């Protein structure tokens, strides 16, 4: 039997003969009431968004993290609850439903689903996510994927004066930076800002004396030639990546750059050490802090 495209509405698949009742029980499990996925499926956040939309009888608006996933945003786990804007508030487990006003220009149609635009999605994420760091991570990732600008979100804010959660959104929106390419890069940037250091530039391109591209730094204080590189696991486990890092570090040092490398463990367990290193190098290069 050819595997059905999933997720699917069980009653529709049975009515068309696409699957038998026996096969339904044996091969598929409900993700939401009436909506099925293969028993052994690895479900992405986008799959879950589509399943939630099907549960709503195709009437709900895909919003929040689900909209971000449909828009292509990375680092959203498939186990996260789906989010809809819908008039049926009796949501099943792993589904968050809100009743909110959405303007026509805040909607896109993707794979037949109504989905909030990147700007409206950021508006919702910034209002509803309670953890500041997580909120900025989500906004960074959304902006990195979609090219979202602060002014785009400000336009949505202007159209929804008095909406719940606006103070929270206004605290995190100025911190959104499309240059962050991973959640840990966001954490590394926020650690510096929270310590009172100037916000670093992101994705800074460095050229050699012959104007040939040399490297792209995760973060930098370009005026002082201080760069910050977040080293994920591949920087330690992939020999080619490691050798490239070594070569780039040498070349950047020859050009007068000071590169500070930061790992996940350093951010998690010795964040003050990381901040102190950056601050010390900046001061040594004439930065007034």
Residues 144 and 225 in one domain: no
Which has the minimum average pLDDT: 3-17, 75-89, 234-248?
234-248
Q: Across all residues in the chain, what is the average pLDDT? A: 95
253 is written with which tokens? 């040092």
| CA separation for the pair 140, 179 (Å, rounded) | 7
pLDDT band at residue 114 under the 50/70/90 scheme: very high
* Predicted local confidence at residue 118, as pLDDT: 99
* Predicted local confidence at residue 244, as pLDDT: 78
Q: What is the mean pLDDT of residues 177-193?
A: 98
pLDDT digits (tens, 9 = 90+) for 117-154: 999 999 999 999 999 999 999 999 999 999 999 999 99
* Predicted local confidence at residue 195, as pLDDT: 98
pLDDT digits (tens, 9 = 90+) for 18-55: 999 999 999 999 999 999 999 999 999 999 999 999 99
In a domain, 289, yes or no: no
Contact of 236 with 243, CB cutoff 8 Å: no
**Domain-terminating residue out of 134, 151, 175:** 175
Residues 148 and 194 in one domain: no
Residues 149 and 65 in one domain: yes
Residues 77 and 171 in one domain: yes
- By CB atoms closer than 10 A (0-12, 13-18, 19+), residue 168 is middle
Residues 14 and 49 in one domain: no
Contacts of 284 (CB under 8 A, 6+ apart): none
Q: What is the mean pLDDT of residues 176-194?
A: 98
In a domain, 204, yes or no: yes
Residues 114 and 208 in one domain: no
Single pTM value for the model: 0.94
Residues 156 and 263 in one domain: no
The larger pLDDT score, comparing residue 89 to residue 216, is at: 216
The larger pLDDT score, comparing residue 152 to residue 247, is at: 152
Answer whether the bond into residue 7 is a cis peptide, omega within 30°.
yes
pLDDT digits (tens, 9 = 90+) for 56-71: 999 999 999 999 999 9
Longest Cα–Cα distance in the chain: 74
Residues 129 and 246 in one domain: no
Examine the pLDDT at 234 and tell me if it is beyond 80: no
Residue 107 phi, psi dihedral angles, 5° rounding: -125, 145
Examine the pLDDT at 235 and tell me if it is beyond 80: no
Contact of 95 with 54, CB cutoff 8 Å: no
Examine the pLDDT at 237 and tell me if it is beyond 80: no
Examine the pLDDT at 231 and tell me if it is beyond 90: no
* Predicted local confidence at residue 247, as pLDDT: 83
* Predicted local confidence at residue 233, as pLDDT: 55
| CA separation for the pair 281, 260 (Å, rounded) | 9
**Domain-terminating residue out of 125, 151, 175:** 175
Examine the pLDDT at 243 and tell me if it is beyond 90: no
The larger pLDDT score, comparing residue 2 to residue 113, is at: 113
Q: What is the mean pLDDT of residues 234-254?
A: 75
Examine the pLDDT at 72 and tell me if it is beyond 80: yes
Residue numbers of the domain that contains 37: 1-41
Query: Into how many domains does the chain fold?
Result: 3
**Domain-terminating residue out of 121, 148, 175:** 175
């Amino acid at each position: 039997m050819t595997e059905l495209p999933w997720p699917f509405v069980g009653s529709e698949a049975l009515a068309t003969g696409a699957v038998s009742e026996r096969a339904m029980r044996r091969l598929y499990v409900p993700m939401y009431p009436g909506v099925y996925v293969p028993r052994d499926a690895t479900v992405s956040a986008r799959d879950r968004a589509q399943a939630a939309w099907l549960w709503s009888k195709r009437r709900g608006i895909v919003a929040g993290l689900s909209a971000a996933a449909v828009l292509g945003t990375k680092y959203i786990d498939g186990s996260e609850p789906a989010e809809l804007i819908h008039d049926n508030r009796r949501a099943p487990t792993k589904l968050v439903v809100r009743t909110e006003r959405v303007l026509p220009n805040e909607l896109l149609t993707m794979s037949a689903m109504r989905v909030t635009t990147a700007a409206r999605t950021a508006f919702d994420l910034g209002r509803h996510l309670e953890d500041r760091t997580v909120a900025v991570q989500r906004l960074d990732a959304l902006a990195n994927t979609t090219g979202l600008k602060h002014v785009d979100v400000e336009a949505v804010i202007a159209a929804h004066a008095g909406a719940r959660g606006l103070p929270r959104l206004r605290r995190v929106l100025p911190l959104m930076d499309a240059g962050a390419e991973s959640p840990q890069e966001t954490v590394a940037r926020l650690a510096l800002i929270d310590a009172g250091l100037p916000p670093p530039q992101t994705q800074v391109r460095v050229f050699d004396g012959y104007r040939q591209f040399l490297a792209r730094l995760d973060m930098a204080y370009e005026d002082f030639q201080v760069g910050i590189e977040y080293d994920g696991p591949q920087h330690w486990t992939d020999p080619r990546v490691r050798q490239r890092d070594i070569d780039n570090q040498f070349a950047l040092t020859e050009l007068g750059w000071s590169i500070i490398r930061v790992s996940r463990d350093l951010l998690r367990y010795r964040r003050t050490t990381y901040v102190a290193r950056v601050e010390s190098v900046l001061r040594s290069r004439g930065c007034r802090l």
